[in-house]
């Protein structure tokens, strides 16, 4: 069974940092593009970042560019989202999603382009 499991969420003060992990189970991430998405209560789902299968190309939403960094370790079968300078408006459930793209040279932060995702991890930014 193909599964993605997010972890690393929690409560952090404004200006703080968190690193989220997206671990694959039942398959290897080598040929999958991975995206990170978030949804806050009462708001639409938002694409946050993505990374191609090789890690050579990344993409970020304007709202997080310069503060968040996506990376992957295919040997560990895990993708990471390093989040710095967190703001209260970053509060949301964050989840990752995967799509098999063995020839990808770019990635999208459109959730509709990903085949499956995890259950998410809560990030709360508050003093």
Tens digits of per-residue pLDDT, 28-44?
999 999 999 999 999 99
Characterize 67-106 residue by residue with b for buried, 16 or more Cβ atoms within 10 angstroms of its Cβ, and e for exposed: ebbbebebeeebbbbebeebeeebbbbbbbbbbbbeebee
Arithmetic mean of pLDDT, 97-124: 94
Q: Residue 7 pairs with which residues in a beta bridge?
A: 21
- Give counts: helices (H), strands (E), the chain: 0, 11
pLDDT exceeds cutoff 90 at 10: yes
């Amino acid at each position: 069974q193909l599964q993605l499991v997010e972890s690393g969420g929690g409560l952090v003060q404004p200006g703080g940092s968190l690193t989220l992990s997206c671990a694959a189970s039942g398959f290897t991430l080598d040929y999958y593009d991975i995206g990170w998405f978030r949804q806050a209560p009462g708001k639409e789902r938002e694409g946050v970042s993505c990374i191609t299968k090789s890690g050579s190309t990344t993409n970020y939403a304007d709202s997080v560019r310069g503060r968040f960094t996506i990376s992957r370790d295919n040997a560990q079968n895990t993708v990471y989202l390093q989040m710095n300078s967190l703001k209260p408006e970053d509060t949301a459930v964050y989840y990752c999603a995967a799509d098999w793209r063995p020839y990808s040279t770019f990635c999208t932060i459109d959730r509709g382009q990903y085949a499956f995702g995890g259950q998410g991890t809560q990030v709360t930014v508050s003093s």
